[in-house]
Every structure is written in structure tokens, then in C-alpha cells.
Amino acid sequence: MAQKNLLPLILLGLLRDTKKTGYELKKDFETEIGEFWSVQHSQIYLELKRLTELKEISSTKGFFGSKIEKTYYEITPLGEERFEKWEKSFQNELAVNKDEFVLKLYFIKDKKDGRLQQLIKNQYDLHLEKLAHLNLRMKEVFSKIDKEQNYGHYLILNHAIKREEEYTKWLSDSLENINK
């Protein structure tokens, strides 16, 4: 089944509250959205162009507070309508998780395979690092704003923390089992 292109909807959602430059949108992906969605920098600008052509966003160029010309994007009523329609819709299937690590595990047949321990240890280290990052983000973000005012964001971050805690436990248990 073909994957839906959700990038335009993400951009519309990010532009709902305030005008933003392409750079600011890129930063949103690096700091917030990137916890659960990834995108290439170049894709953002291509999609901004498409959304402008569809008249779902508009852009304003000018010198805003500095001597550098910037382009600010903002959502239009047409974009707002599209976003609200999507926001009220429901998925009728689960997303497929494409995970190269899990795929590699699938093809390892023997518990004594020399690659197994290092493969799992590498993932364990990566997930521990991600867990530390998520805990730091939770502390940084929700020490500045009330979680009740941005509850969806809080739920996503909390979910990511719980997922990483469970994943690192599974990896740790797996390493222990291999060493028995």
C-alpha cells in the first residue's frame, strides 16, 4: 500500500499558530517533530512551494528585524480547512514500521551467531542515548510551558519515553538471554 504524504499536513499544522520561515520549520523538525517524524531539509521547501501553489499557505518577503531578507509562510483559510478535515479523520490501519535492526534480527538463525550480541548492544546504546535525550526534552519543554496547554505534545513525548524504556529493557533482557 502506498504511503500517504503527510508532510503538507504537518507544515499546515506548524503554521496554524504563527508565521514561520522555512528555517524555523526545519528547526521544528529537529527539535520537536523529529521525535516521531523525519524529513529531508529540501523536502520542506519543495512542499512549501506546492502548498503556496495550492493557495493553502501564503508567503511574505521582507526585512524582518534584521538586514537579511526572509520569507515567512502562513496558513490560509483553504489550508486551515484542509488541515481541520485531516485532523478530524481517523486511520483505518496501523502504520508499518520499517526497522532495519529488526529485519537483521529476523535473518539471524542461531543464538550463538557472532553478530547477534554486537547488533543488540549497538541498538541498546542508541536507545539509551535516545531515552536520555527524550527525558531531557521533557524536562526542558515542560519546565517552560504547562503540559495542560500543550497536552498532545506532552502525550507524544511521554509515549516516546515509555517506548524507549520498554525497548531498552527488551534489548537488555535479550543480551542477558544470549549470554546464558
Return phi, psi of residue 61, to 5°: -105, 150
Identity of the highest mean pLDDT range in 27-31, 59-63, 167-171: 167-171
Average pLDDT of the segment spanning 150-179: 94
Do 83 and 119 belong together in one domain? no
Please identify which residue in the block is written with the cell numbers 510551558.
145
- Residue 122 domain flag: yes
Average pLDDT of the chain?
90
The pLDDT of residue 134 is: 93
Please identify which residue in the block is written with the cell numbers 527524550.
134
- Residue 1 domain flag: no
Overall domain count for the chain:
2
Q: What's the pLDDT tens digit per position in 32-87?
A: 787 778 888 889 999 999 999 999 999 998 776 667 889 999 999 999 999 999 99
What is the CATH number for 64?
A: 1.10.10.10
Do 31 and 80 belong together in one domain? yes
DSSP collapsed to 3 states, 67-118: CCEEEEEEECHHHHHHHHHHHCCCCCCCCCCCCHHHHHHHHCCCCCCHHHHH
Residues 16, 7: Cα–Cα separation, whole Å: 14
Average pLDDT of the segment spanning 101-119: 91
Cβ atoms 111, 165 nearer than 8 A? no
Structural domain containing residue 131: 100-178
Tell me the DSSP string of 120-172: HHHHHHHHHHHHHHHHHHHHHHHHHS-GGGGHHHHHHHHHHHHHHHHHHHHHH
Looking only at the bridges linking them, the beta strands covering 69-75 and 57-63 are antiparallel
What predicted TM-score, i.e. pTM, was given to this entire model? 0.71
C-beta atoms surrounding 35 within 10 Å: 18
Sequence-ordered list of residues with C-beta below 8 angstroms from that of 19, at least 6 positions apart, any chain:
60, 72, 73, 74
Judge whether residue 1 has pLDDT over 60. no
